[in-house]
Amino acid sequence: MPKPVVPEEKRRRRRPTKSGTVLSEQLIVETALRMLREHGSAGLTARRLGLALDADPSTLYRYFRGMDDLTLAIGDALIGQALRGWRPTGEWRADLRAFGLRVHAAYVAHPQAALLTASRVTGRSNELAADEAVLDVLRTAGFPVPDTVRIYQAFIDQSLAFAALDAASLTLPSASLHDDEDMWRSTYARLPRTTHPRIAEAAPLLATRMVTSAYPTALEMLLDSATARLEELRDQAPR
């Protein structure tokens, strides 16, 4: 049975660690992000995190019910980074584009954490704020609730899916990443037109585009589809 999390006011009364550090949920999450960046998910354990914080590992359970609860907090922190500085302007397409790019960038900046959290539902404050904001942008633009939910799902899942895909590439050993990128030049670009005519004609562009993220393009395609749907709804509205 998971241990109960100590209320925030009682956490603040705790004495500093031996090194003088005053623990907080934010400090633990930031330290966990650093450990993920340096050691990957296999290196993130309660024992190692306790050592990094100069605290007994059991102390972590005053803040989190377990390592999975910490994982959810890490995911929520990434969403919080995407939210920071973003404000809807009233231009729904520009607002969704800006936020989608922010979400993608926040996760890709922490690739190990992205792989660990992109598929999770945190139910925490930043995730709830992001969901409320995206739904409000779509509803304010004039989409009915069913269309709003459909576009919201596609928008969020697309952002996180591309973030996880691009993060996975960034976690590869540098030699493997280089070999994968070079494959478009060393193999695809040399295929003869007689056997692979479509690859051969597209090879120069493939070599350029396939080593970059397709997320901006996919996002524009999603927004194009949503725009077309909104125009259709307006055309169907009684005059």
Mean pLDDT per block of 10 residues along the chain (239 residues) reads: 52 55 90 93 91 90 93 97 96 98 97 96 97 98 97 98 96 92 92 96 94 96 98 88
Residue 224 is assigned to a structural domain of this protein: yes
- Is the same domain home to 99 and 202? yes
- Is the same domain home to 40 and 112? no
- Residue 69: the pLDDT is 96
Longest dimension (CA), the chain: 75
CATH code for position 16: 1.10.10.60
pTM beyond 0.85, yes or no: yes
- Is the same domain home to 135 and 217? yes
Check residue 2 and report its DSSP letter.
P
For the chain, what is the domain count? 2
Residue 76 is assigned to a structural domain of this protein: no
- Residue 238: the pLDDT is 80
Residue 157 is assigned to a structural domain of this protein: yes
C-alpha distances (whole Å) from 126 to each of 9, 83, 129, 213 are 21, 8, 5, 25
- Residue 19: the pLDDT is 60
- Is the same domain home to 96 and 185? yes
- Residue 1: the pLDDT is 43
Domain boundary among 65, 96, 114: 65
Residue 199 is assigned to a structural domain of this protein: yes
- Residue 12: the pLDDT is 43
Residue 2 is assigned to a structural domain of this protein: no
What are the phi and psi torsion angles at 8 (to 5°)? -55, -40
- Is the same domain home to 99 and 214? yes
- Domain membership of residue 31 as a residue range: 8-65
- Is the same domain home to 41 and 99? no
**Sequence-distant (≥ 6) Cβ neighbours of residue 126 within 8 angstroms:** 76, 77, 79, 80, 83
